[in-house]
Amino acid sequence: MFSNSISPKSISGKVLRRHPLLSSTFLCLFLSLIGIQLSFLHLSFAESTFSPINSMPEKYMNQGSKSFYQGAFEKAILDWREAAGLYEKEGNPNKQSEALLLLAQAYQYIGQYNEALKNLNSALGLAKKSKDRSRTASALGSLGNLYITIGPADKAYQYLNDGLGMAREIGDSGLEAAILNNLGNLLTTQQKYSEAIQAYRESMEFAKRSGNKVLVARTLSNSAMAFFQNKSYKESRNFLDQALDQTLSLGHSHEKAYGLINIGLSYYHLRQHLSEEKDLLSLSSKTFKEAATVAENTGDLRSLSYAWGYLGTLSEFEKRYPEALDLTRRAIVTAQQGNAPESLYLWQWQTARLLKKLGENSDALSAYRNTIYTLQSIRHEIATCYGAPRLSFRESVEPIYLEFVDLLLQRAASIQLPEQVAPYLLEARETIELLKAAELRDYFKDECVDAAQYRVARLDIVSQTAVVVYPVVLPDRMELLVSLPTGLKRLSVKVGKETLTKEIRRFRWTLVKRTTREYLPHAQQLYDWLIRPLEPDLKSLVIDTLVFVPDGPLRTIPMTALHDGKEFLIGKYAVAITPGLNLTDPRPVKRDHLRVLSAGLTESVQGFPPLPNVSIELQAIQRLYGGDLLMNRQFLNSRMEKEMREKLFTIVHIASHGEFEGDVQKTFLLTFDGRLTMDQLSQYVGLFKFREPPLELLTLSACETAAGDDRAALGLAGIAIKAGARSALATLWYINDQVSSELVAEFYRQLKDPTISRAIALKRAQLKLLQDPWYQHPGYWSPFLLINNWL
């Protein structure tokens, strides 16, 4: 038998490279869109009949079920919400809990996870209060299923295991089957395929025992997915054929239509690995057509949109572009009729690509604008499968923005008159800003981006001496979009993404080798690509600061260490980075009344090495600014919260081990009694968001990012946004705490000068270290980054 208790392990970021539309939903449709099958609620609508109406709440329950059956989830939500309210007035907690469970499932289907979570917690509370073990087990299982999608994995395990144990205690085989299926889904996202397949096998046995044909079909499909992910393609085909037979035997319903869409997607992907089996593409097409028939017969516009859209994708793959465009336009109309923006943006994007391939670039630009408009309208609801964030964002969202920017810049390059070029460059910059905000939203999984309600300030007003550089990394070239005090300019560099990424990785790895100069040729090559094209403009203007909005792998390197053959970039300019100007509050720091909270560890804690020079660092800050100090045993999570809640600080300085990972759940700062997560830091520092004076600077002087992981570097770049600080000073990698203490102390000394910016204060501190023969290597001074507001 499958074990009740499983310990979560780390999630690998490995993904498969596939067609963008097909790959983006391959895992999510299998796992995220599959709600828990609650046996006692009879959610297999195709196999059940609706109850006779004996009361108003029952009327709404039945209406909601019919709407859900048709894929009209918003209508189902309205009815089930009404039913839950009426049951509450009647004082019927059992039925109210039932309605809330259904309501949560509908919310989950449309990607409104916070609403789903709220209703599930309410349902669980009611079920526990009335001692209804069946509904309690169902609520626990549903919460586990939701946490598969939103993370963290350990919560999903906890709820699924608790629900499974209770289902077994009460002998509910249908519910046991449902929870085992979802446990298999979680194990699949964790790449524990043999355990996942065992869970699916047990789920299928219980589903057959309880007569749940829909769940049998699901477990067959999910087993096929697990075998596919484990590269067991023959076994995957075998289970997929069984899943198709089982799904075709079901009555028409939304469940059947979505099941067929999943199977059609899987046949397409298997085709790439079983080239000798020539029927897979035609099977994929036939399955999508059958899904369209089912959806039409049930009035399920959401599923119909997916069916038409993926048929268009297959036609695009076969280079039948006019046919693909016709199918895709049908998918768009259907998605609009069904109020399904989560699929609408996919087909608008597909239309844009097809128009571009047909040479209709003006219409393609309009289609991209429509796509991004739709994306912005659902930015909070875009589903992200937990355990595969790269699959979700990098393959289904990021390319849309980059393809649009690429086309805008191509159009700008083809125009001679400057006044006609400007609108395309402005639109390209604004699109990059939208992409940067979307990246941070995807990384932090919360609304910290929206809380930063700042607007782009004109650089000629903010600073006449700063230049902002947006490197746009494209497959065949890199475009530098440059905001000068005189206006926007584009520069094209003949280096593609693959070559650039390799050079960046070599540079990053050689930078930390402090006894060699292996980094130098890479520093010079990157200078030639990133800085030399700008030199004519930089020399003609009085510029003292370069602000980079880095893209992808460029986040993992310090721009200060680029070299022109004679000197480092830091010798010429102060340097800062920002995740986006739309997220920056570009105002100079007010030097009067600065109040500092300093915290840190000198002792070895939780297996991390001691940082003896931290005491020197914090004492230097104390001498310069005074303020409050939390050292070692005083540096507790609870004490940090108390200090920030009760006092006004303009600078928070933390000198302790910190690690930034590609998964924000694994990112932390070390305290004496535990680990300070990004959510906790945001809560503590967020207390200053609506206070005056604001938090001007958050310094993390001993943190490091996972080497070569640009998602981890994205987290570092977004730390000021997450924490609600105007700017942050942090390190890309850990350096000797003696070096850190010297540089940090000099930075704070320079910061007292009211005539210079934060960026220039950091430049002077780095140059002082560079002039020391012991610390000339950039591995010592370059990892310090000034993030966000550079003034």
Using the predicted structure, report yes or no on whether residue 690 has a pLDDT greater than 70: no
* Token representation of residue 219: 């477990």
- Do residues 537 and 470 make contact, with C-beta atoms less than 8 angstroms apart? no
Q: 632 pLDDT exceeds 90?
A: yes
Give the containing element (helix H, strand E) for 176.
Answer: helix 173-189
For the segment 4-32, the average pLDDT, to the nearest whole number, is 37
Q: What is the pLDDT of residues 219-228, one digit of tens each?
A: 999 999 999 9
For the chain, give the percent of residues with pLDDT over 70.
Answer: 88
Q: How many CA within 13 A on the CB side of residue 344?
A: 22
pLDDT digits (tens, 9 = 90+) for 281-329: 999 999 999 999 999 999 999 999 999 999 999 999 999 999 999 999 9
**How far out from the chain centre does Cα 115 lie?**
19
3-class SS at 661?
coil
Query: What is the rounded average pLDDT of the residues 71-75?
Result: 86
pLDDT for residue 394 is more than 90: no
pLDDT tens, residue by residue, 235-261: 999 999 999 999 999 999 989 999 999
Q: What is the pLDDT of residue 443?
A: 79
Predicted confidence (pLDDT) at residue 36 exceeds the cutoff of 70: no
Given this model, what pLDDT does residue 593 score?
A: 80
Quote the tokens at residue 634: 């005083």
| pLDDT score of 154 more than 50 | yes
| CA distance linking residue 381 with residue 581, whole number of Å | 24
pLDDT given for residue 689 in this prediction: 63
Backbone phi, psi, residue 610, to 5°? -70, 160
Distance CA 247, CA 224 (A): 14
Grade residue 587 by pLDDT with cuts at 50, 70 and 90: confident
- How much is the pLDDT for 39? 37
Q: What kind and span of H or E run contains 29?
A: helix 20-31
At 405 the pLDDT is: 98
Question: Phi and psi for 787 in degrees, rounded to 5?
Answer: -115, 130
User: pLDDT at residue 18 above 60?
Assistant: no
Residue type, 202: E
Left if phi > 0, otherwise alpha if psi is -120 to 50, otherwise beta: which for 502?
alpha
Nearest-angstrom CA–CA distance, 481 and 491: 7
Q: Which residue has the higher pLDDT, 151 or 121?
A: 121
Q: How confident is the model at residue 450 (pLDDT cuts 50, 70, 90)?
A: low
Q: Specify the pLDDT at position 585.
A: 77
In sequence order, the β-bridge partners of residue 493 are 478
For residue 394, the 8-state DSSP code is I
Alpha helices in 512-607 (DSSP H): 520-530, 535-540
Nearest to 754 by CA among 622, 598, 614, 589: 589
Q: For residue 728, is pLDDT > 70?
A: yes
What is the distance in angstroms between the CA of the first residue and the CA of the last residue of the chain? Answer: 62
Q: Is 469 helix (H, G, I), strand (E, B) or coil?
A: strand
User: What are all long-range contacts of 153-159, with beta carbons under 8 Å and residues at least 24 apart?
Assistant: 153/8, 153/11, 153/186, 153/189, 153/190, 153/386, 153/387, 154/8, 156/186, 156/386, 157/6, 157/7, 157/8, 157/186
Q: Is the pLDDT of residue 334 over 50?
A: yes
Query: What residues contact 91, with CB distance under 8 A and at least 6 apart?
Result: none
DSSP SS3 for 366: helix
Write down the pLDDT at residue 723: 76
Lowest pLDDT segment from 45-59, 458-472, 477-491, 759-773 = 45-59
Give pairs for 454-458: CB < 8 Å, separation 24+: 454/582, 454/583, 454/584, 454/585, 455/582, 456/581, 456/582, 457/581, 457/586
- Contact between 31 and 385 under an 8 Å Cβ cutoff? The reply is yes
pTM score of the predicted model: 0.87
How many residues appear in the chain? 791
Detail the DSSP E strand segments found in 384-506: 466-473, 478-484, 487-493
How confident is the prediction for the chain on average, in pLDDT? Answer: 87
DSSP string, 32-66: TT-----GGGT--GGG--PPP--SHHHHHHHHHHH
In the block, residue with structure tokens 């397409």: 268
| Separation of alpha carbons 762 and 749, rounded Å | 10
Q: Which contacts qualify for 515-521: CB closer than 8 Å, 24 or more apart? A: 515/777, 519/561, 519/778, 519/779, 520/563
Task: Find tokens 């524990």 and name the residue.
Answer: 192
Place of tokens 């919400």: 81
Cα separation, 238 vs 40, whole angstroms: 31
Q: How far apart are CA 731 and CA 56, in angstroms?
A: 61
User: For the segment 183-219, what is each residue's pLDDT rounded down to a tens digit?
Assistant: 999 999 889 999 999 999 999 999 999 999 999 999 9
- Please tell me the predicted confidence (pLDDT) of residue 308: 98
Report which of residues 648 and 4 the model is more confident about: 648
Q: What is the DSSP letter of 773?
A: G
Identity of the amino acid at 773: P
Rounded Cα distance, 308 and 311, in Å: 5
> What is the C-alpha separation between 214 and 764, in angstroms, rounded?
67
> What angle in degrees, to the nearest 10, is found between the helix axes of 20-31 and 301-317?
140
Tokens (6 digits) for 753 = 């000068």
Range in 388-402, 539-553, 612-626, 685-699 the model is least confident about: 388-402
Q: What is the largest CA-CA distance in the chain?
A: 87
Q: How confident is the model at residue 687, as a pLDDT?
A: 67
Distance of CA 345 to the CA centre of its chain: 18
pLDDT confidence tier of residue 48, bands split at 50, 70 and 90: very low
Q: What share of the chain is helix, strand, coil (3-state, %, to 5)?
A: 60, 10, 30
pLDDT band at residue 448 under the 50/70/90 scheme: low
Q: Above 60 in pLDDT, residue 16?
A: no
* pLDDT for residue 693: 79
pLDDT tens profile 555-577? 999 999 999 999 999 999 999 99
**pLDDT exceeds 50 at position 41:** no
Is the distance from CB of 199 to CB of 183 less than 8 angstroms? yes
State the pLDDT confidence band at 379, using cuts at 50, 70 and 90: confident
Residue 171 Cα distances to 117, 158, 214, angstroms: 26, 20, 20
Q: What is the pLDDT of residue 83?
A: 94
Alpha-carbon radius of gyration of the chain: 28
pLDDT at 17 over 70: no
- Is the pLDDT assigned to residue 372 strictly greater than 70? yes
